[in-house]
Structure 1
C-alpha cells in the first residue's frame, strides 16, 4: 500500500503507466485498474500504457486486444481497465493493482476506498498518487499520507514525497520565474505563493500547510497546540475501572474543578481517529482524552462514559453526524446524565459542524 504526494509535472503519471503495463504483461491473470477523477483522464492514462507498449522492441511486445477503456493481454489473460472515479468505480472486480490517479480530486474517494477492501485483503496493491489541493482542507489522500508519514511504524501505507526539484532543470531560479508567470486563471483565489506551495512544494510541511484564506481557526494557534501534545504524558490511575490502554488521563480529577467534553466519532475511513476530549474549563488544559482508530461507535461511547463519570459527568457534546448518532444512542442507553444539546428545547443532542463556512457560523454551533 503506497501513497505518493508529488509536485506537478514530474512524470509520475508516466511512471505509474510503466508499472501498470509491466505488471499486466508479466503476471498471468492480472487485473490492473486505473481510476482517474474524470473519464477523459482515465482514457488518457490508459492511452499512455498503449503508447508505451507500441514503442517497445518487437521481442517485448505482446498480443493485445483493446478498446477505449480496456487493454487485454491475450496470452497472459491479464487486463488493464480504466474507470472514472464514481462511487462504484471498479466494483465487481478484485484488482491486483488499484492505481488511484490524482486521488485528491476523486469525488467519492472515501467510498471507493471502502470498496477497495477486498483488493487490499487479498494482497493487492492500492497506490494513491496526488498533488495537494489547498482549497480542500480534509481529503482521503491527505489523511492517508499524513498518517503514513507521521506514523510509519503503525500505518499500513508507505508514504513517498517528491518535491518540485526532482525533475532535472528545476532550481530556485526556475521556481521564482514560474511563480512570476502563473496565469491568474490558474490561481482560483490563491496567492501566487500558496499556488506554488500547492503545485510545486519544497517539503511535506509546505505542501500540507492549509490555506490561511480558507481556515476557520488561527493556524499559528493550532500549530502551537500540536506541538503541545508532546508534553502530555498519561498518568497511572489506581483502583479505577478504566481501560487505560484506551483512555489517557494526564491530570486526574480534583475537587473544585469544572470540565466540559466533546466527541468526534470517526467515519472509519483511512484509519481516521475517533476522539473524546475532556478540558478543564478554568485552565483550558486537556486533562484526559481518547484517540483511537480501532473502536466501534458503541465502544467509543462505553469508554467515554467510563472516563467522564470519573470526572463527575461533565457536560458532553457529541458530534451528531452519521456515526456520531450511534455514539449518542449508546450514551443514552448507558444513561449518561449530562449530554449537551443543539437547541434550547433540548430536542437535538450534540452539535453539527456541517454547513458552516465562517468562523462565526461554526462558533454558533
Structure 2
C-alpha cells in the first residue's frame, strides 16, 4: 500500500501545482509511450523553458523540428490551465480537423490519469473532439473554416502546424478579436517556406514588430540526439525535407521555383541603388547609360485593379546586369511617357512591353510618342521582327504576349539564367519576390497576397535576350557571311584566233603555264581524291 498524503500535504501540493505548470507536469502528469505504455512525463530542459514561456508571455510562436514532444508539452499546459483555473475556454485548430482532435484527445488522456487527489474537477460533457469540466473550463477542436472561433471569447488559442494551415492570414483576422479579453495564443509549426502567416509572424516577432514571443527549437536541442542520429535520420531524406522536418529553415523548406541556394546568392548581391528617382521615387538606378553598351528595357503593365504593380527592368546586354528597375502604380499614360523617356535615355534601347489588356494602352501611347525601337513579333510564332519590318507584315503584333504556352517557357528561361549565373541582380525588391515565387499545382506563381510582377518582367527579358535577339544576331551574321563569300572577277577573255579581225595577243591565256600549275596542284592534293 502506497504512502497516503495528509490533508495538509494535499492542500500544499494542490497550491504548488496550481502555481507552477512545470512542477505539476513533472510530478503528476502521465503520458502514453508507444513501447512503454503509461509513463511519467519528465520534461527536458528545453520543454520546461517552453512551459515557462507559455505562462510568462501572452503570445507564443514556436518554430520547431519534428518529434520534440512540443504538442505533448502543449497538451500538458492545457491540462494545467483547465484543471487549476475556472471558466477557461480553449480552442485548438490545425491543418486538419483530425489533427486538432488528436491534441484534444491527448489533453483528455493526461487529465484522466492525474492522481485522484488532484482531480479537483471532473468531466461533465465528453465528446470526441471536445469536453467540458465542472469548473466551467472547456476545450474543443475546430476546422480551419472561416467561422472558426468566431463569436467566442477565448482564454487560449492553439494553432498546431500553423505554417501548413491554408488561408491562416484571413483566419487570424477573425480569431484575433476573440483574444481581446486577455486570451493567449500558442502557434507552433515546422517551417513551410516563406510568405505564409507563420513565416511572416515569426520573422516579425524576432524583429520585435508584433507581440509574439519567438522560440526556435531545431533537432539539436534534444539531449539524446547527436550527429550520428542526424546522419542516420537524414540518409533517405531530401534537402527540402531535412530543412522542414529537422533544421527549422524557412528558405530551404519551401517549394520555390528558384533553388534556395540561388536565392541566397541573389541576396548576397543586393545593394542600395545609386539613385532613387521618378515622380514616386520608385525608379532605382545602379548604373548610368554608357554609349559603349547595348540595353534592353522590359516592361510588365499592371492590370489596374490595385493588387499588382507596373514594373520594368533595364538590362545591360553585354554583361546581363539589371542596372535599373521600376516598381509602382502609375496610370497608363504616365507609364507610357516614363518608358519612352527611359528608353531614349538608354540609347533608344529595344523596348519590350507585355501586351495584356492594359499593356496595349501603354504600347499605343509609345507609338503616339513615336518611340523608334519597339519590340514586335509574329502572332502565334512569337518570332521577333524589327519595327520597320513589322509595318509590312500583317500578322505582326507590338509587344510580348504571355500565354499559357509562353509562361512556362519564359519562367524556365529565367530559372536557367539564374542557375547558370548568367544574370546579375542588385534589387532587394525582386530578391524578396523570389522567396514567395512557388510551384502551385505545377504552375509557377506568387504565393497568395504576394506579387511576381518583377519576376515575370525579368523572365520576358531573359527569353527575348536568348531567343529573339540571338536568332536575329545569327541571321545578320549569316547574311554578312553570304555577302563576304561573293567575289567579282575582271578577267577578260577573247575567243578570236590569230588572223581574225579584232584579234589581240594580250588577251591570250598562257595555257601551258596554267595547265602546268593545275597538274602540280593535282599531284600535291592527290591524297584527297583517293578513298
Structures share a fold, TM > 0.5? yes
1:185 corresponds to: none
Q: Any conservation in 1 of the 2:162–2:198 contact (CA below 8 Å)? A: no
Deviation at 1:304, TM superposition (A): 11
- Counterpart among 126, 135, 143 of residue 75 in structure 1: 135
Residue 200 of structure 1: SS of its match in structure 2?
helix
1:297 corresponds to: none
Structure 1: stretches of 5+ with no match in the other structure? 183-189, 291-299, 321-327
Q: Any conservation in 1 of the 2:95–2:165 contact (CA below 8 Å)? A: yes
Query: What TM-score results when the alignment is normalised by the length of structure 1?
Result: 0.64
Deviation at 1:13, TM superposition (A): 0.2
- Counterpart among 316, 322, 344 of residue 285 in structure 1: 322
Q: Does 1:216 align with 2:257?
A: yes
Query: What TM-score results when the alignment is normalised by the length of structure 2?
Result: 0.47
Q: How far apart in 2 are the matches of 1:275 and 1:159?
A: 33
- Counterpart among 146, 156, 168 of residue 97 in structure 1: 156
Q: Any conservation in 2 of the 1:32–1:98 contact (CA below 8 Å)? A: yes
Q: How far apart in 2 are the matches of 1:172 and 1:32?
A: 39
> In the TM superposition, what whole-angstrom CA distance separates every residue of 1:208-231 from its partner, at most 9, and x where no partner exists?
3147xx6533444322211222x2
Which range moves more in the overlay, 48-57 or 307-316? 307-316
Residues 83 and 288 of structure 1, relative CA distance in 2, 3 Å threshold: same
Q: How far apart in 2 are the matches of 1:38 and 1:253?
A: 54
Q: Any conservation in 2 of the 1:234–1:248 contact (CA below 8 Å)? A: no
Residue 232 of structure 1: SS of its match in structure 2?
coil
Q: Any conservation in 2 of the 1:253–1:310 contact (CA below 8 Å)? A: no
Q: Any conservation in 2 of the 1:262–1:317 contact (CA below 8 Å)? A: yes
Residue 234 of structure 2: SS of its match in structure 1?
helix
Residue 224 of structure 1: SS of its match in structure 2?
helix
- Counterpart among 173, 177, 195 of residue 241 in structure 2: 195
> In the TM superposition, what whole-angstrom CA distance separates every residue of 1:29-50 from its partner, at most 9, and x where no partner exists?
4332101222322221001212
Q: Any conservation in 2 of the 1:5–1:131 contact (CA below 8 Å)? A: yes
Q: How far apart in 2 are the matches of 1:122 and 1:50?
A: 26
2:412 corresponds to: 359
Residues 262 and 93 of structure 1, relative CA distance in 2, 3 Å threshold: farther
- Counterpart among 160, 171, 176 of residue 112 in structure 1: 171
1:178 corresponds to: 233
- Structure 1 or 2, whichever has the larger Rg, is 2
Q: Any conservation in 2 of the 1:145–1:159 contact (CA below 8 Å)? A: no
Q: Does 1:143 align with 2:199?
A: yes
Residue 281 of structure 1: SS of its match in structure 2?
strand
Residue 47 of structure 1: SS of its match in structure 2?
helix
Q: How far apart in 2 are the matches of 1:333 and 1:218?
A: 36
Deviation at 1:317, TM superposition (A): 5.9
Deviation at 1:285, TM superposition (A): 2.4
Residues 359 and 75 of structure 1, relative CA distance in 2, 3 Å threshold: same
- Counterpart among 31, 35, 39 of residue 89 in structure 2: 31
1:323 corresponds to: none
What is the Cα-based RMSD across aligned positions, in Å? 5.0
Q: Does 1:301 align with 2:329?
A: yes
Q: Any conservation in 1 of the 2:190–2:245 contact (CA below 8 Å)? A: yes
Q: How far apart in 2 are the matches of 1:175 and 1:222?
A: 26
Deviation at 1:15, TM superposition (A): 1.8
Structure with the greater relative contact order (CA < 8 A, sep ≥ 6): 1 or 2? 1
2:143 corresponds to: 84
- Choose between structure 1 and 2: higher helix proportion: 2
Number of matched pairs: 317
Deviation at 1:174, TM superposition (A): 1.5
2:480 corresponds to: none
Deviation at 1:284, TM superposition (A): 3.3
Q: Any conservation in 2 of the 1:277–1:286 contact (CA below 8 Å)? A: no
- Counterpart among 298, 306, 319 of residue 260 in structure 1: 298
2:190 corresponds to: 131
Residues 123 and 210 of structure 1, relative CA distance in 2, 3 Å threshold: same
Q: How far apart in 1 are the matches of 2:109 and 2:224?
A: 26
Which range moves more in the overlay, 302-311 or 48-57? 302-311
Q: How far apart in 2 are the matches of 1:305 and 1:147?
A: 39
2:217 corresponds to: 162
> In the TM superposition, what whole-angstrom CA distance separates every residue of 1:40-83 from its partner, at most 9, and x where no partner exists?
2222100121222223343463243332222323334x322111
Deviation at 1:161, TM superposition (A): 1.4
Q: How far apart in 2 are the matches of 1:316 and 1:120?
A: 49
1:66 corresponds to: 126
Q: How far apart in 2 are the matches of 1:48 and 1:284?
A: 56
